[in-house]
Structure 1
């Protein structure tokens, strides 16, 4: 992912990806291997299907706040998704031009959690009495890039983190990582023959010694069979909590997506298919298991 047009959107997307890549070693391992094996000549040839963010559904934060950034830069809000067991809402956003990634944005429905967990989350966020995005110059790409990595609330204690983790691993991830980029996604159908299906690309990634998320199976397939997704297991990071306590916790990961042709375009050769002729949007059943790339059951095994 590399945007070189110099627009505010290009600037903050590059800032996001640079910091994400620096903290997720699997990105460089996969990219370097792709270049070494001639799958791509350089990183910017990789098509980024989408990037994803997690947020807390509390006043002045969450999707209603966060989406303002992308709507301002020409993104269009599309389908809503609901994850009952995980207590999440989500939407995806279509980009203003094909060279930009889709956005997948989710938020935790905090008011559906236990009183104890709600109390912990509100203790960290109740001091935010106005929407922080409203204070941003949305035409300043660097300011937006810095905002994504700004500490909107104080560093959590290890005890609070573990209490959240016990009830909602999503909540624990967000309370520590905040708006940090959760993952980016390689469009495998855009790769050269031999690597252009999820199964073939998964084999390639596993051949690098990288573990894949096997929740619900390594390959998550939509009901119509036209969207296939897989992902690495989140990179572990040594986290320093309030009062100096440390612990190894889940960071971010890399996803892979294969979008097949819509039925009416099944006779179009793969190399001639346009993005509009492929399956669009997302799938709740797929995303539900992709979320678990940061979950303990995956990272500890």
Structure 2
């Protein structure tokens, strides 16, 4: 599949279309979130998991100022993503021209290196500070990945669409670097060492589209890509938004049906991801 082909897939929620420019990863069975390490961010996630005796109630709505600030942040993350993925931007424009401005996101996903504080928690604290709750840990052994998805605070009073509509779920994954080959580990550690304390400013990196480490050289990218597409992508893109999903049930025309949505995309000349089947059975179906 070419790098420029748009990939969309259905998810298990009433309807969610995955809009991204890469292959997916088969979903793993959800696990309860364990304690991930030391430090305030790790403890907050572990405590939230321990208190989960089912599906915890959403956090209270954000105060007006906090809500506005948070949406501005994720809007800037979205802008970086769409600027780098013109095919995704084109599909969103096609949807708006056909259905009107009714797009809302099901979830936004981020990738990280699970080493030296650059993993899940380097981004998670920001979302937790704005009312998000950790729900489940997912594991993808074949890809050497671990991930946690976070549910948004109550946000019933939204009036807009996209990032200004219902707040999306957040999906943050990390590559288990210590399970890679010695050569790949050496490359990743080499760049992490040039980052200083960049992991403490992951959100700034995400909204600016900048790396916190040195710009990688192509030969290092090639080495990583032979072992892990995830590692190579993260080395080049850092904390940038990796993919976004559209909740098709929020649409108001006939393409709210996931099958009709898929046909709409194909009829407009875009290729759907067939890996694992066009229709996926899990909203968090890949990383």
Deviations 1:32-57 (A, max 9, x none): 222332x12x2xx2111010000001
Q: Does 1:110 align with 2:177?
A: yes
**Matched residue, 1:149:** 209
1:23 equivalent among 80, 84, 87: 84
2:118 equivalent among 32, 39, 61: 61
Determine helix, strand or coil for the equivalent of 2:256.
Answer: coil
Q: How does 1:101-250 map to 2 (within 5 A)?
A: 101-128=168-195, 130=197, 132-133=199-200, 144=204, 149-222=209-282
**Cα separation, 2, equivalents of 1:190 and 1:177:** 30
Going from structure 1 to structure 2, the CA distance change for 1:132 and 1:108 (only over 3 Å counts) comes to: closer
Cα distance, 1:208 vs structure 2? 1.1
Going from structure 1 to structure 2, the CA distance change for 1:14 and 1:168 (only over 3 Å counts) comes to: same
Q: TM-score, normalised by structure 1?
A: 0.65
1:46 equivalent among 92, 103, 107: 103
Cα distance, 1:197 vs structure 2? 2.4
**Cα separation, 2, equivalents of 1:125 and 1:132:** 9
Q: TM-score, normalised by structure 2?
A: 0.68
Worse-matched range after superposition: 67-76 or 122-131? 122-131
Tell me, yes or no, if the aligned pair for 1:95 and 1:102 is still in contact at 8 Å: yes
Determine helix, strand or coil for the equivalent of 2:215.
Answer: coil
| RCO comparison, higher one (Cα < 8 Å, 6+) | 2
**Cα separation, 2, equivalents of 1:219 and 1:173:** 25
Deviations 1:87-134 (A, max 9, x none): 00000001113421100100000000011110111111134454632x
Tell me, yes or no, if the aligned pair for 2:76 and 2:207 is still in contact at 8 Å: no
**Cα separation, 2, equivalents of 1:130 and 1:36:** 44
Instruction: Find runs of 4+ consecutive structure 1 residues off by over 3 angstroms.
Output: 127-132, 143-148
**Matched residue, 1:80:** 137
Cα distance, 1:17 vs structure 2? 1.2
**Cα separation, 1, equivalents of 2:142 and 2:128:** 29
**Cα separation, 1, equivalents of 2:258 and 2:121:** 33
**Cα separation, 2, equivalents of 1:8 and 1:35:** 25
Going from structure 1 to structure 2, the CA distance change for 1:196 and 1:147 (only over 3 Å counts) comes to: closer
Going from structure 1 to structure 2, the CA distance change for 1:201 and 1:71 (only over 3 Å counts) comes to: same
**Cα separation, 1, equivalents of 2:97 and 2:69:** 32
Give 5+ residue unaligned stretches, structure 2.
1-63, 156-165
**Matched residue, 1:33:** 94
Going from structure 1 to structure 2, the CA distance change for 1:128 and 1:146 (only over 3 Å counts) comes to: closer
Tell me, yes or no, if the aligned pair for 1:82 and 1:88 is still in contact at 8 Å: yes
Tell me, yes or no, if the aligned pair for 1:13 and 1:145 is still in contact at 8 Å: no
